[in-house]
Structure 1
Amino acid sequence: MAAAGAERVIDPEIRFFLDEMKARWAAHPSLASLDYPGQRAVCEAVRSRWTQGGPAMTRTLERVFDPGAGSLHIRVYLPEGASQPAPALVYLHGGGFTLFSIDTHDRLMREYAAAGGFVVVGVDYPLSPEHKYPVALDRIEALMLWLRDHGGELGVDGSRLAMGGDSAGANLSFATALRLRDRGEGGLVRAILSNYGYFSNIISDEAERDFGGPTSNLDREEALAYFANYLTDMASECADPLVCPLRADMAGMPPVFLVIPECDLLTEQSVAMAASLRAAGVETGEKLYAGATHSFLEAMSVAAVAREAIADGAEFVREKLA
């Protein structure tokens, strides 16, 4: 685990990022006073500061279509120098199954594409609570099968696909790979990039004490509220390994790299996931990023630790899809 309580030290550049975010939040009504569309609009405005700049793509494609289980909006980033057809990382944004979009994560996905020389397919999956489990999972799985068969239409090599995401997006990446494995499509996902994944509704008192609370950018109450949004019956559905992947048998899963911030409510979940993967014989890499917090990758324009983690993740995906 990371340094506890008063011993933890948040990276100064990440602290600047958090303070900037706090100031931007203060210019808007509290999320609790808004409906979900209103909350999402505020999130887009607050995070717009961090999506600016970054690498340009050779081509960016937008598509709204039904890959087989309902409508999806995707954005395809083709970086300079990528082969044709190119290997691809299918990236699922975070936001507790409830918030954020491919717009809030636009720069992050461009950074991955440019650093790794592969295509990134960003997915605007259906959000909760309007769309409950397993709607988003159904559509993401259908997209992966569609990319296998039709990826060439987008410049994507359907035989070289990885999945990745942050927080809830990491959860959905694991859940999709698990479902595909169990349906005999285990080779479709060649690798998983897991950024501060949210894998279980069980958050320890220690994690809440050390990394949660009202001054953090993610506490236990907020995290559990996201699961409540996502699920119809939280008490029973959290037993489902496709909801809480820490409950899953990981045998036969593809190689995984876990990006783990030191100062995060969910650090313990990534540590536990790494142990579960290794116990199942899965090729597993993980790295603890000192002084980093939840959402730290979004600070890439101001924080060296975020740029380091992006470079590490891009190299992992590039190697596994080579």
Structure 2
Amino acid sequence: MNEQDKLPIVDPDIARFRDRIAAAYAEHAVSANDYAARRAAAEKVRAPWVRGGPEMARSTDLSPGDGCPPMRLHIPVGGYDIAPREGRPLLLYIHGGGWTVFSIETHDRLMREYAARSGFAVLGPEYSLSPEAPYPQALEEMGHVLDWIRANGAAHGLDTRKLVIGGDSAGANLALGTALRERDAGRRGLSGLLLNYGAFDPRPRESWQRLNGPEYMLADDEMAEFWRNYIGNRTLDEVPYAVPLTADLSGLPPAHFCVPAGDILAEENLELAAAMKDAGVAIDLQIYAAATHSFLEAVSISSLAATALDASARWMRDTLEAA
């Protein structure tokens, strides 16, 4: 069997999503160095995939200031059976986009899907983007978000003792980096980590070449650019919370990994899950053989994305019930 035969076959619905995204980007060609234009294009390309989906009981845009970025809080319809009188559990969900593009708007449907499927409230922060705001600015902003949650969550109907932090791609990186910072500061208030196809190490793996290109939604040169934007020319020792595969992983809360097999980041996700398990962290690893990077955003047409979201929501509920 040659190497080509080993490549994952992409689910037809996710392939449709991939092809429509590519066609939409082709209509918005912009200079690679014009980040404002790239972000505006990304918002337009993703907009059709954000429409529809679950209705919320309440969605609130918040602007706390004092170092805390703007945020959006979604409260789903219906009750919740874990200590309902003490408020809803919360998922702090950090959007992806290589620390460079995307926003809470591009990920609004994904946040609402998590809220509706889990019963959790979902809070999405609008963090500062690179290269204008490189490491560690976005990470520090996530610390301010946690401070805001602890100080103000109860007033918004949240049980701040039941807090999962997660994200996709660069957002998963920020979620894990934030958890490491919290642990090192002696704060153990996180209940779980939801890590969707995260970017965890700038050093390329074999999958960066084998799964490189548009068929799998993420290219190696694109990922390398994202890392340059975020950490610049600093060594790995200078960015300890950006590269969790070099960190002490003990003492972290339980973690759920959503790993598409057709993703250049698949190897580092599997390595990280194994390293966390070796460090004594409870791991739930879900691998989706026919999926690509960003596949959860295809939920409006993809039963595979819906299955993955349901699995994550179930893990969130089960993790809190077992705590």
The answer to whether TM tops 0.5 is: yes
Q: Which amino acid is 2:291 matched to?
A: A
Which amino acid is the alignment partner of residue 74 of structure 1? Answer: M
Q: Which amino acid aligns with 2:103?
A: S
Consecutive unaligned residues in structure 1, runs of 5 or more: none
Residues 1:122 and 1:4: Cα distance change in structure 2 (over 3 Å): farther
Q: Which residue of 1 aligns with 2:69?
A: 72
1:116 is aligned, of 115, 118, 123, to 118
Mapped pair 1:191 → 2:192: yes
Partners of 2:69 and 2:60 lie apart in 1 by 14
Displacement after TM superposition at 1:259 (Å): 0.2
> Equivalents in 2 of 1:74, 1:196: separation in Å?
23
**Conserved 8 A contact 1:116-1:318:** yes
- 1:100 maps to amino acid: F
1:93 to 73, 92, 95: 95
- Tell me which amino acid in the other structure corresponds to 1:286: L
- How far apart are residue 150 of structure 1 and its match? 1.9
Deviation, 1:213, is 3.2
More off after superposition, 100-109 vs 3-12? 3-12
Deviation of 1:145 after TM superposition, in Å, equals: 2.4
Q: 2:155 aligns with which of 150, 153, 156?
A: 153
Amino acid at match of 2:263: D
Amino acid at match of 2:114: Y
Taking only aligned residues, the RMSD between alpha carbons, in angstroms, comes to 1.6
Q: Summarize the Cα distance change of 1:289–1:154 in structure 2 as closer, same or farther, 3 Å threshold.
A: same
Instruction: Identify the residue that residue 221 of structure 1 maps to in structure 2.
Output: 221
Aligned positions of 1:160-239 closer than 5 A: 160-185=162-187, 187-204=188-205, 206-213=206-213, 215-234=215-234, 236-237=235-236
Contact 1:77–1:113 (Cα < 8 Å) also in 2: yes
Deviates more, 1:111-120 or 1:75-84: 75-84
Q: Secondary structure at the match of 2:200?
A: coil
Q: CA deviation at 1:239?
A: 5.4
Distance 1:31 1:298 in 2: 25
Q: Give the total of aligned pairs.
A: 314
Shift of 1:252: 0.3
- CA deviation string 1:75-100 (max 9, x = no partner): 00000124462110000000000100
TM-score by length of 1: 0.93
> How has the CA–CA distance of structure 1 residues 147 and 30 changed in structure 2, closer, same or farther, with 3 Å as cutoff?
same
What is the 5 A alignment of 1:23-38? 23-32=23-32, 35-38=34-37
Q: What are the equivalent positions in structure 2 for 1:117-136 lying under 5 Å apart?
A: 117-136=119-138
1:266 is the counterpart of 2:278: no
TM-score normalized with structure 2 length: 0.93
| Gaps in structure 2 of 5+ consecutive residues | none
Distance of 1:143 and 1:208 partners within structure 2:
33
| Conserved 8 A contact 2:253-2:282 | yes
